[in-house]
Amino acid sequence: MSKRVKVGIDFGATRIKMAFVGEKGGLSYRREISTPIDAKRSVLIDTIASSVREIIEESGFNKRDIIGIGIGVPGPVDSKRGVIRYLPNIKGWKGVALRSILQTKLGIKVALDNDVNAMTLGEYRFGSGKGARNLVCLTLGTGVGGGIIINGEIYRGSTMCAGEVGHIPINEKGPKCNCRGIACIERYIGNRYIIEQARMVFRKGITLEDLTDLARSGNKDAKRIWEDVGEKLGVALTGVVNLLNPDRIVIGGGVSNAGELILRPLRRGIKIRAMKDQALHVKIVRGKLGDNAGIVGASLLVG
Ligand SMILES: [Zn+2]
């Protein structure tokens, strides 16, 4: 067995996923558990630590075989100090030095970053971003997250808050967003807003999967809803394309399962609106690593 192995952990608000990640991005001993979101913080940290111990035991690896553990968390992080700023969807995590806590518990080097940055690194190295130098990665789900790679490195911004594509406003006036902004793109295409829209159109509760199936079987109303998502995202991303001139934009996350239903109007919108050179150069593609992007990417946080 390879001695160059890392552990990647994708710590989400609903699921915690982890695995060993090999040099070429392959996973082994993958494990997924529900996040005990109502448990005390110490219990949650112990759950993560004991799951890591279990996969190490299962694998037969020696601690010495493991280069390190990378963990991506759902919120802003001071990655240099290894401290979580706060987690918007899990209470009680403000200022937690998770890197050193896990390092002490496990006796293995730990690296910590935001989950979207981790996912961005994963797609960049082993997924749809392979070969790009400048890349923007989006995750479409409850929220709209974004990560930026410039010249092969994550761009973090002055206070480590860069990449918030979801909070680009697409209108002067509009609905208020949690971030305190107005008419942020997330406020239109976050999954619960799409579901709300669908409920109004179909006058009944409908899941995103149903909406995708309906659109694929030719239902005009369902198609129109996805088209609207793509068009709105196209407005926001036109600004991104003009500003950053990326090689590629990689779209992942649950909402992106609608695939071409969103991507077609999105590409069209950018082609029409963005400046010519930028628009001609950029490729807009779906993420390749799917559900594992966060695990693979987290392992890449380890130097
Ligand atoms: Zn916002």
State the distance from the centre of ligand 1 to the C-alpha of 105, rounded, in angstroms. Answer: 36
State the distance from the centre of ligand 1 to the C-alpha of 44, rounded, in angstroms. Answer: 28
Q: Which of 126, 131, 127, 134 is nearest to 249 (CA)?
A: 134
Task: Tell me the pLDDT of the chain averaged across its residues.
Answer: 95
Task: Return the pLDDT at 127.
Answer: 97
Instruction: Confirm whether pTM is higher than 0.95.
Output: no
State the distance from the centre of ligand 1 to the C-alpha of 47, rounded, in angstroms. Answer: 32
State the distance from the centre of ligand 1 to the C-alpha of 165, rounded, in angstroms. Answer: 9
State the distance from the centre of ligand 1 to the C-alpha of 290, rounded, in angstroms. Answer: 25
State the distance from the centre of ligand 1 to the C-alpha of 178, rounded, in angstroms. Answer: 6
pLDDT band at 34 (very low <50, low <70, confident <90, very high): very high
- Residue spans of the domains in the chain: they are 5-118, 128-287
- Does the structure show a pLDDT above 60 at 2? no
**Which CATH architecture is the domain 128-287 placed in?**
2-Layer Sandwich (3.30)
State the distance from the centre of ligand 1 to the C-alpha of 173, rounded, in angstroms. Answer: 13
C-alpha torsion 144→150→152→155, nearest 10: -60
pLDDT digits (tens, 9 = 90+) for 82-100: 999 999 888 899 999 999 9
What's the whole-number mean pLDDT along residues 96-107?
A: 97
Contact 221, 204 (CB under 8 A): no
State the distance from the centre of ligand 1 to the C-alpha of 182, rounded, in angstroms. Answer: 7
Same fold, 5-118 and 128-287: yes
What percentage of the chain carries pLDDT values higher than 70?
99
Q: Which of 10, 296, 253 is nearest to 127 (CA)?
A: 296
Task: Return the pLDDT at 3.
Answer: 59
State the distance from the centre of ligand 1 to the C-alpha of 147, rounded, in angstroms. Answer: 16
State the distance from the centre of ligand 1 to the C-alpha of 93, rounded, in angstroms. Answer: 21
What percentage of the chain carries pLDDT values higher than 90?
91
Q: Which CATH number does 5-118 carry?
A: 3.30.420.40
- Does the structure show a pLDDT above 80 at 122? yes
State the distance from the centre of ligand 1 to the C-alpha of 175, rounded, in angstroms. Answer: 10
